[in-house]
Amino acid sequence: MTRTYTVDLFAPSQSILGEGPAWDANRDALVWVDILRGKVHLRSPSGATSSFDAGSHVGSALPARGGGWLLAVADGFATMSEGGDVQPLLSVHGGRRADLRFNDGKVDPAGRAWAGTMAYDESPGAGRLYRLDPGPSATPVLGNIGVSNGLGWSPDRRTFYYVDSLAGTLRAFDYDEHEGTVRKERVLLAFPSDEGYLDGLCVDDDGGIWVAIWDGRRVNRYTAKGALDSVVAVPVDRPTSCCLGPDGVLYITSARHGLSREQLDRQPMAGAVFAAEVAATAPPATLWFGDV
């Protein structure tokens, strides 16, 4: 039987394209981004909030060792201090690909940052998934990607999960933590486009995979074998991603991007962050091993 959950409003932001939620143990707060406004937001369970300007479109803000964040910005990577100072780190395309931007990112169990690209017009096959290595250098891991989106690792650190929203697939790979490599690709889930699009994800301590469904008004939880076992209903069309915080709270970002005025009138909370108490736990976001 599929378990169902409902949500409460956590942060009444009206993000154009809210994304990349992560529980930041350095600040004991949720961090997320508004990609198209170039904003990084934080909010604690007590309601304390702060926002910073990334100076660029920003796909993710990954908590870093010692404080601050690694940003996946439009053309590559930058760092942001706890006070909001942004410093360029690596331009992946050297400014040559204004048609592309970085999207979702995560830190793997060994502390490496991963982030993927997509075309602004969502051209098929234009994106890549990169691993940020010391140097710094960006190492391509996967190519021919439509919309690079959700990333996650199994609790035993042996499986990597990855969403290409345009392809409508949740893929699983064998993962080598020491080398930071993936192999043995298989499609864990092929999602029907008439039900929405797979977006960002997180993985819980039991190996369950929580995936936001863009244009689906929900977050689905799948077992490691790809079976649906839980659904979190949200009051907006476009949930974008999710993460687990302390005490089994699932935080869900959402978007207003692409919705008509009539659609926005019917869902005034579009772009907000929601919270649901679920029967699942996960550790805080793994810290990026670089320094800010």
Residues identified as active-site: 199
With beta carbons less than 8 A apart as the criterion, state whether 116 and 160 touch: no
C-alpha 212/C-alpha 170 separation (Å) is: 12
159-164 vs 148-153, strand pairing mode: antiparallel
Q: Is 21 helix (H, G, I), strand (E, B) or coil?
A: strand
With beta carbons less than 8 A apart as the criterion, state whether 280 and 232 touch: no
C-alpha 213/C-alpha 262 separation (Å) is: 21
C-alpha 162/C-alpha 187 separation (Å) is: 10
Looking at the DSSP bridge assignments, the partners of residue 260 are: none
Q: Read off the amino acid at residue 92.
A: V
With beta carbons less than 8 A apart as the criterion, state whether 98 and 57 touch: no
